[in-house]
């Protein structure tokens, strides 16, 4: 079986997984999923006894891409969808690094650029 890219989408307790033969196909699906998830109803501020979490601080969904190797994948990146509908791309495994957006870039196009530059 050939190495593949894996896309894992987490929305609350729900987890969906898909496999793709190419990075471009996986990124295309990630882009569609993130666009759909960012249109969902917005979250309210959560107030716990010691702290308040605004919608922008809450990750309501995460689309994570890894591969092509199963163990120690070369690519480990994704996009977080926040409670206010905003998105943020990141790369890395345990220590995630935010991918900075350039002018008129979406989180997914910034992620494509970062992966093309070899960061991932």
Tens-of-pLDDT digits for all 120 residues of the chain? 456 999 999 998 999 999 999 999 999 999 999 998 887 767 777 777 888 787 778 888 999 999 888 787 888 999 999 888 889 999 988 788 999 999 899 999 999 999 988 766
Q: What is the residue extent of each domain of the chain?
A: 5-116
What is the pLDDT, as a whole number, of residue 5? 93
Q: Nearest CA to 78 among 11, 69, 20, 87?
A: 87
What's residue 16's pLDDT? 95
Residue 41 has what pLDDT? 67
**DSSP 8-class letter at 4:** -
pLDDT of residue 1: 47
Phi and psi, residue 47, nearest 5°: -115, 110
């Amino acid at each position: 079986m050939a190495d593949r890219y894996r896309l894992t989408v987490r929305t609350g307790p729900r987890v969906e997984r898909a496999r793709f033969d190419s990075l471009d196909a996986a990124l295309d699906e990630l882009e569609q999923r993130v666009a759909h998830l960012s249109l969902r109803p917005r979250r309210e501020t959560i107030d716990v006894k010691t702290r308040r979490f605004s919608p922008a601080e809450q990750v309501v969904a995460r689309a994570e891409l890894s591969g092509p190797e199963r163990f120690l994948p070369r690519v480990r990146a994704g996009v977080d969808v926040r409670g206010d509908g905003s998105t943020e791309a990141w790369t890395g495994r345990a220590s995630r690094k935010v991918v900075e957006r350039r002018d008129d870039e979406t989180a997914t196009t910034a992620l494509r650029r970062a992966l093309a530059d070899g960061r991932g």
